[in-house]
Each structure stands twice: as C-alpha cells, then as structure tokens.
Structure 1
Amino acid sequence: MEREELAGWLRLTLTPGVGDTAARKLLAAFGLPPGVFAQSHAALLQVVSSAQAMALGHPPEGLPALLEQTWQWLQATEPDGATRRIVTLADAGYPASLLEMVDPPVMLYVIGAPAFDLTQLGRAVAIVGSRNPTPQGASNARAFAQALGEANITVVSGLALGVDGAAHQGALDAAASNPSRLATVAVVGTGLDRVYPARHRALAHQIVAHGLIVSEFAPGTPPLNQNFPKRNRIIAGLSRGTLVVEAALQSGSLITARLAVEQGKEVFAIPGSIHSPQSRGCHALIRQGAKLVESVNDVLEELRFDDVTASQAPDADPAVLDDSGLLRDLGFDPVSLDALCARTGHGAATLQAQLLELELDGRIARLPGGLFQRVGRG
C-alpha cells in the first residue's frame, strides 16, 4: 500500500461522525476513498447525512500524525521474516467470510508469516472462553485446539488470558508437525504496535511465526474496554463455528457466541460441573441450542469439512498404509507414535493423518501421554 492510498483510507475512517456503516455506503456509491472525497456536497447528501457530508469536506484533525504513525508501523520489519500488512474492503485479500457480516471492518491490520493470508480461512473454528478457566478448562481448550489443528483446521481466538491463550498454544502444538499450515489467527482489541496482555508477548511471537495477528484498530490504539466486544464479531466472522470451552453467565465469550448465531454460524459448548461458575455460560448456551461437545468429533461432524481427510493432508507422506495394515500394527495395547513409526517404517506425518481418520471413525482412541489404542476386537 502506498502512502497516499493509506492517507485516503485513514481519512475516511477518521472523519468525525463517519463510522464504518457510513464509510461502507460511501465506498459502495463512489468507489475508493479518492472517489469519495472528489464528490460534491450535494452528491454526498444522497448517501450520508448533512453533518457527515460537511465533515467529509475537510481533512480531520490528527490525520497527519496518524498517517505518519501508521506508515512507520507498516514499514518496520518483523523478526523471522514476518510481514506487516493492511487489508481494506477493496482488496482481493479481504476475507470473504467477513463480507457476509452486516458490519465488516473497513480496514484490517495484519502481522504474520508472508506465506499466510486471511483468504486461507475456509477451514477455521473459533475457540473462546473464560480468562480464569479451571485447570480442566485450560487443558480442554489446548487439547481441542491441537486436535483441530491436526485435522488441518485453523484455530481463531482473541489472545486473551485463559482459554484463548490455551487455544492458541494447542494450535501451535499441532503446527510442529506441519509448519507450512496456517495454524492460528489471533484477533486483538488493540493496535498491533503492542501486545495485550503483556504476558502473552512470547505467545504472540510464536503466533506471528505460524499464523496471523489481526486488528481493526490503528497502531497506537490502547486496550480500551469497548474495543474487545467489538473485535469478537471478527473472531466469529472468520470462523465456520465457535466453540465455547468455559464461560460465566456474564462473559465476553457469550457475546462471541451470540454474534456467531447472528451470522448464521454454528455454536458449540463443552459442559462442565454444575458447581462451577465457569460452566454456567456453556450450560446456558446448550439450553439455547448450542451443540453439546464431548470430543473434537462432535465439532467436525457438525461442520462437515469436506476436505478434512487423511489423504489430502498437506504434510502426508506419499506412501499410505491401508486401514487393516495400520490396525494390525497397532495391536490391542496402547502404543506411542514413535513405536508405530518403528513398526511400520512410515513417517510420523503419514501415521498422524491416518490415526486421525481412524479416530474420527471411532476405530481407535487417543489416550493420555500421546498413546493410541485400538477400539474393539473386530
């Protein structure tokens, strides 16, 4: 993006009284920002109010400073070859799923590996939940995220403490076996020139290496309370479904779930103890029609990702074992992946893909400690 182009987009979004809704109407009517600002007052009145049309006639106060700050942010380099980008409604790289929302953001700021972009989110599931989860809740978030990642599904969350952080970490765990895949996307409520919460700085660096961090807020935007519920609509919008792991009755995660429903997306909830306040939000969602989830299979079966198959996994080895051969090599006792590699002579990527397929078919079970066991004697 050139500096002059950036100036036009920032002017449109910074003009007092012209919010995202009016900006989208103007863009639809007159094309790119230069076309908007070239219009007469009378022409603008056909689209926006008199006050908005008047405001559009003058560059807003603070535009030069914001332009300089944003331009400097855009030009700065990231470690490990990651790039900084700005994606607008007019760009081919704008995620199609957000265009289906009633209020898509006009601009998105993105940091991530150059191989990844937001158009790769056809297979994505959001995982959200409490900032103060129980140990089991945090463990569930990480385990579900890892299982989804191993099924070649991107995990979307909000980089918050608790469930969000555990979900991102689980997705990164899965990325260890396939670093070429878009593992996770963090949608944040601040400018991308800062990490909030600060204790997730190391996690944010990992995400940048294996995924993307996204914000609709310009660099310099602090962690304002009103921005976090707003970013939740993007989390829901980027995903095919939203899984709530743990949530109190008054929780931002329930806002994300409601927004997902409003967007026509699936909502899933993991039940918990009737004595735990962190489970009450999930139980309320289940009573309202969310699907009760006990395993990752419940999510995959509902969303029906047609391309989630072992043979199509991008990291699969060319050689493939047939099911009967792999089941025979599994035996009936718990066995580790390393032991299976030694027994079969096949690589871990091939075996992981086929083990996932057998697990989804209910023919094997995944046990604690990274072990697998055949289910039944047939």
Structure 2
Amino acid sequence: MSAEITPEHRIRAELNMLIEPNDLAGGALLSLIGSAECLAMITSGYPPPEDLQRRCNDLLGLSSTAADTHSLPVALQRWRKRISPGRSDKLLETLRRNGGGLLIPGDPLWPTQLGDLQLGQPLCLWWRAKRVQRMVQCTLDRCVSIVGSRDCSDYGQRVTQDFAEHLYRAGNTIVSGGAYGVDATAHRAALNSAAVDKKNLPTIAILAGGIDRLYPAGNSSLLTQVIHSGIVLSEVPPGTPPARFRFLNRNRLIAALSRVTLVTEARYRSGALNTVGHALDLGRDVAAVPGSVYSAYSAGTHRLIAEGQAQLVSEPRELLGESVLPGTGGTIRRLTDALTLTQRMVYDSLEVRRALPVSEIAARAGISDGHAMTALRYLGGQSLARQQGAQWCLAPQEHGPKG
C-alpha cells in the first residue's frame, strides 16, 4: 500500500464504522472538536456537554430542545450501537493485502472539492487502485460525471460512449457509479480510450458499498479494470452492503467531484436525477442529452431540460468550457454563465438595502433552509451576495447575472 497510514487515519477509520456517511450530526461534531476527541466521546458512553449540544444545534439549525434525529444526544445513541474495538486494524490489513488504502481530508491526494459538501463531507475515502498517486489529477476542473439509467437503450449507449471518449481525449476524468447501463458504458469508453492514449486518469468509480464488494457482480470484471487503470472509491468501510440509501448518499460524491454532471439518457424517475439534485445544490453545472420524444428512456432528460435544471447538449465540445477540442480549431463556449435554478431562486429572493435571515430567504424561494444556505455560500463566493452577521443581502455590482 503506497499511501501512509497514520494514527489520524486509524481514528477516521474507527469513526467511519460508527458514523454513517452524510450524517450531518457527525459533520457538525467534527467541525467543533477533533476526531480523536469525537471518538473518545462516542466510546465513553457519557452524555455530551450542554454547551457542545447547543453549538451543534446552532450549526444544524435545530432548536435547543429538539429531539431531532440530527441532535447530538440522539446521534450518540445510534453511533454507540456500532462500537467494535479493533475492527479498523483488520480492515486496513485486508486492504493492504489487496492493494487498497485510505484517504482522509488534508491528505495530499484528497480531492478538495469534496469540501463543498460542508457538514456532509466524507469522513474518509477507501480506495483500490494500481496507482493511487493519480488521484492528484482528480481536481474539479478535470472531472466530468456521466450518469443515467441502468437499462439504457442502444441510443443511450452510443451517446454515452461518444461523450465519454471525447471528454477523456480532451483531458477529463470520467466519474460514475459503476452500475449497469450508462455508468458501465461511460467507464468502459474511458478505459478503452486510455488504452490508446494514457495521458490522464481515465475514470473513477464510486461504489455504494465496501470496495471489497465489486457491485454489481455482473460488472466485477469492468470494476477490476477500473482498479488497474483508474480508481475505485467508497466512503463506507469494506464489508458494508450497498443498501438503497447508500446509493443516494453516494450520488452526492459523484456530483461533488466534477465541474459538470452529464445525464446522457434517463427515464422520468431515474435515480440519476438524484445526482442532478446534488449537483444543483452544490452550484455545479448540469447538462442533458435529448432523445426521441417517443422514447420513455429519455423522459428524464427531457424533464430536466424543460424545467431548466439542465442545459441541452448535443455534442461533447459543448461541455469543454474555454478549452480547445483537438481537431476543431476553435474555442468552445462555456457550458453556462448563469446560476443554477436553486441559486437563481435564492438570488431573486435577496434585497439590496435590507439583509434577511436565512429562514426568510428560504421561505421566499420555496426551498429548505439547508439548500438556501448552500446557495447563499456559493453566491457569497461569487460576490453576488453579502453576509451581515447571520443575515444576507445582495452584493452591489454593476452587472448581475443574466438569466
């Protein structure tokens, strides 16, 4: 195993076995105290200090008397049911024998764009790869996620293959979830392109279960190829089964790793639309490929385009920003200079002269407080909004974003 395992890695591995990914209470606690202190608090069996409870509630937007599932006392109860001393050492040894390892925030190879998930950032990432050092190429501007239906049509396969091959040749890493259909086609196209031109990391597969369980079993050969030429990642410990809710959790990582999420083909209620929701919440671009109006396979992509959640794209070069696609001889326009739908609703709810609390902004936009806060942080980073204490207003500027 090429990546060093430190005491902090071992603590994170222990916490990862106690705290389910995207457990916001865990994220809040870790943002307030160190990982070692967090582990000690869980294993001690004692109730948390009242001041710490209050600070966690403040971060989570809970009332001081809330018995919510995210409240610290309730969270401690579920975490303590999973205590199994020494298990992390066994897992790390198993990974070492199988050419895998562990990354944690702050490691040189950690993809920093996952920090945009804030309290939902993974505790750690378990990996299997022949050359994990290539994770250094996993930057926001070099990753594109391709998602879609598991039962895609021949058209969907051809479109996915075409986009994945062109995007790889333009210097991008293809990110997907290792499932049947669109996922598998995207991974395979990137791997085939890399067999001819090995200039960049071809693909990353993010699993919903442990990386010792190459799921689905029918894709085990493909995922073995990903391990050999790309990287397989998971935010849950080895041995963890891929339950349905873990697929939904996993989708936020697919969205967060990439600058754009492309839906090549999806039914009306495809699980790929969940990934799109995460991408929009993170302020990432979303694109969709249209299909036949008579095809149920493309009903989901048409829905995204019609609702303004995704930009229609018909050729790979439309996704390549300001870069030049080999053979075109020209500069390609950016995917979009506009805000996502959620960000636009929040932007339109702000005022110039009066700062508003997050709850009022969320009510005006018709979204949750958490989604409003995510959008506000993005708008603030783009100098479109300004924070005044716990309230927000529009930032003065000469030219606002065009809708």
Q: Work out the number of aligned pairs and report it.
A: 305
1:12 corresponds, among 8, 12, 15, to 15
Is the 8 Å Cα contact of residues 155 and 171 (structure 1) preserved in structure 2? yes
State the alpha-carbon separation in 1 of the partners of residues 167 and 281 from structure 2: 24
Please tell me the residue identity of whatever aligns with 2:252.
R
For residue 77 of structure 1, what is the aligned residue in structure 2? 98
Please tell me the residue identity of whatever aligns with 2:38.
V
Is the 8 Å Cα contact of residues 21 and 249 (structure 2) preserved in structure 1? no
For residue 132 of structure 2, what is the aligned residue in structure 1? 114
State the alpha-carbon separation in 2 of the partners of residues 277 and 292 from structure 1: 17
State the alpha-carbon separation in 2 of the partners of residues 24 and 273 from structure 1: 43
1:185 corresponds, among 204, 220, 223, to 204
Is the 8 Å Cα contact of residues 288 and 312 (structure 2) preserved in structure 1? yes
Is the 8 Å Cα contact of residues 233 and 256 (structure 1) preserved in structure 2? yes
State the alpha-carbon separation in 1 of the partners of residues 330 and 127 from structure 2: 37
Query: Which secondary structure does the structure 1 equivalent of 2:30 belong to?
Result: helix
- In structure 2, relative to structure 1, the CA distance for the partners of 1:126 and 1:14 (3 Å cut) is same
State the alpha-carbon separation in 2 of the partners of residues 45 and 60 from structure 1: 20
Shift of 1:6: 4.3
For residue 328 of structure 2, what is the aligned residue in structure 1? 359
Is the 8 Å Cα contact of residues 14 and 60 (structure 1) preserved in structure 2? no
Shift of 1:65: 6.2
Greater radius of gyration (CA): 1
State the alpha-carbon separation in 1 of the partners of residues 92 and 270 from structure 2: 36
- In structure 2, relative to structure 1, the CA distance for the partners of 1:38 and 1:115 (3 Å cut) is closer
- In structure 2, relative to structure 1, the CA distance for the partners of 1:260 and 1:118 (3 Å cut) is farther
- In structure 2, relative to structure 1, the CA distance for the partners of 1:235 and 1:51 (3 Å cut) is same
- In structure 2, relative to structure 1, the CA distance for the partners of 1:46 and 1:10 (3 Å cut) is farther
Please tell me the residue identity of whatever aligns with 1:116.
R
Larger mean Cα displacement after TM superposition, 175-184 or 255-264: 175-184
For residue 36 of structure 1, what is the aligned residue in structure 2? 38
Is the 8 Å Cα contact of residues 22 and 121 (structure 2) preserved in structure 1? no
State the alpha-carbon separation in 2 of the partners of residues 89 and 279 from structure 1: 38
Q: List aligned pairs for 1:1-378, cutoff 5 A.
A: 2=5, 4-15=7-18, 20-31=23-34, 33-37=35-39, 41-42=48-49, 44-48=52-56, 49=71, 51=73, 61-64=82-85, 66-78=87-99, 84-102=100-118, 103-112=120-129, 113-117=131-135, 120-121=138-139, 122-289=141-308, 290-300=310-320, 303-304=321-322, 308-309=323-324, 356-359=325-328, 361=330
Shift of 1:91: 3.0
Shift of 1:116: 1.1
State the alpha-carbon separation in 2 of the partners of residues 197 and 118 from structure 1: 27
- In structure 2, relative to structure 1, the CA distance for the partners of 1:7 and 1:272 (3 Å cut) is same
Query: Which secondary structure does the structure 2 equivalent of 1:101 belong to?
Result: helix
Please tell me the residue identity of whatever aligns with 1:176.
A
Please tell me the residue identity of whatever aligns with 1:111.
R
Q: Which runs of 5+ in 1 are unaligned?
A: 79-83, 310-355, 363-378
State the alpha-carbon separation in 2 of the partners of residues 59 and 259 from structure 1: 29
- In structure 2, relative to structure 1, the CA distance for the partners of 1:260 and 1:34 (3 Å cut) is same
Shift of 1:214: 0.9
Is the 8 Å Cα contact of residues 93 and 117 (structure 1) preserved in structure 2? yes
Is the 8 Å Cα contact of residues 18 and 52 (structure 1) preserved in structure 2? no
- In structure 2, relative to structure 1, the CA distance for the partners of 1:191 and 1:360 (3 Å cut) is farther
Identity of aligned residues (%): 33
Query: Which secondary structure does the structure 1 equivalent of 2:24 belong to?
Result: helix
Larger mean Cα displacement after TM superposition, 66-75 or 156-165: 66-75
Please tell me the residue identity of whatever aligns with 1:96.
T
Is the 8 Å Cα contact of residues 246 and 270 (structure 1) preserved in structure 2? yes
